[in-house]
Amino acid sequence: MSFICFALSTDLQTSSGRAVAYGQIGVNGDCFLVSAQYQTKPTGGSGDVFAAAMGKNIAGFGYPWTALGYVRGSYDLDYYQSQLDRVTADAQGAVVAWAFVAVGEFCDMNGREGFQNNTSDFIIKYFTAPLGAPYTQTCGVNNNDQGETSYYSSVVSNLNIFNTTCKIFPKDTQRSRYIRKYDFKCDVTLDYTLLWETNTVAINNCPDNQRKVGIMLNLVGSAFDVDVSIDTNFNRRSGNVVDADSVSFGGGKLLFAWDNYVKTYPNAGLVGTSGTAARVTYGYLNAGNSSATYQGATVVHQVIFAFSDSKATGRNVFYWDPAIKVNAGPATFAPLFGTILTILSIVFLF
């Protein structure tokens, strides 16, 4: 059974402003968040539509995913309230920003921070995303998100081992970081306390100070987006930098950005009390991989984001902040009509 629920931000009762709607639709309860600029009435969108979506089961494979789209032009918010699953179908520069594929443990052997494929680094154990099932998903509005209103979706795995919460704000918001109304900011929490390998054969004499954790993601661009900018010199900045690096789409109009650090904690019960910063390192697993498709689009990269805190530190909970961003501005996007990209038909094949 499908259901859709809507909410408008409370300060949008004037003749111009921004209206935000959220909903859940489909048998999987996938969440959609739509933000539209209006100029004459709350139901009339004129200027832009910014759309974000999350789900927990891509085409039956069980991979949690996060997507974003942006339309620049004049649109009726009523239309999108009745057909939220088509938001990215009309979104110029629509992109499946990332899909959670696996988490795992590796031995960092080669003297370079992070996991590098085809080196002396080796995988000790990994869990594919479907093994985190059953996932639960919620979406809604938080009227007091540190004094602001936010609209969010959360996907949580079995036993709360993997938790992704993403949100949008109806306006530019100053928090511990600056969050624009065109940002889909995500918080990823991974609790690895019960997942460390105990089999000595798999560990293969890897010392605890070299046993580390990583998350594998797929980053995907839209079918018409041939302008993908990949900086080949990632990991160059010092630690603790917000949105330190990014993969850009459409000549930089859309970004998948990430902090180059995580906060780590001894266990889930102590999150928020004794965290420390640990480096995040970006490394290709399959650069330019074409085994995953999204209505004809191909994976830009399969990536392992590796966390520098080892098992020896005793810190098992990793809290990370990636984000999807629209670099919006005057004439940033020319409308590209006829592009048919339906979120629920995303197909990943491995």
Q: State the Cα–Cα distance between residues 47 and 25, nearest whole angstrom.
A: 26
Averaged pLDDT for residues 314-334: 72
- pLDDT tens-place string over residues 132-156: 989 999 989 999 988 889 999 999 9
Q: What is the pTM of this model?
A: 0.81
List phi, psi (to 5°) of 196: -60, 135
Q: State the Cα–Cα distance between residues 307 and 320, nearest whole angstrom.
A: 10
Q: Does 348 have pLDDT greater than 60?
A: no
- pLDDT tens-place string over residues 324-333: 887 754 333 3
H-run or E-run covering 79:
helix 77-82
Averaged pLDDT for residues 187-199: 95
Look at residue 224 in the predicted model and tell me its pLDDT: 44
List phi, psi (to 5°) of 50: -110, 125
| DSSP conformation class of 77 | H
Look at residue 176 in the predicted model and tell me its pLDDT: 75
In angstroms, the Cα distances linking 192 to 217, 336, 341 are: 17, 43, 35
| pLDDT over 70 percentage in the chain | 63
Q: Residues 154, 140: contact at Cβ < 8 Å?
A: no
Look at residue 331 in the predicted model and tell me its pLDDT: 33
- pLDDT tens-place string over residues 158-178: 888 999 999 999 888 887 778
Look at residue 22 in the predicted model and tell me its pLDDT: 81
Averaged pLDDT for residues 184-201: 94
Three-state DSSP at 253 gives coil
- pLDDT tens-place string over residues 2-41: 333 333 333 444 456 777 878 777 666 778 888 877 666 6
Q: State the Cα–Cα distance between residues 177 and 347, nearest whole angstrom.
A: 34
Q: State the Cα–Cα distance between residues 261 and 238, nearest whole angstrom.
A: 10
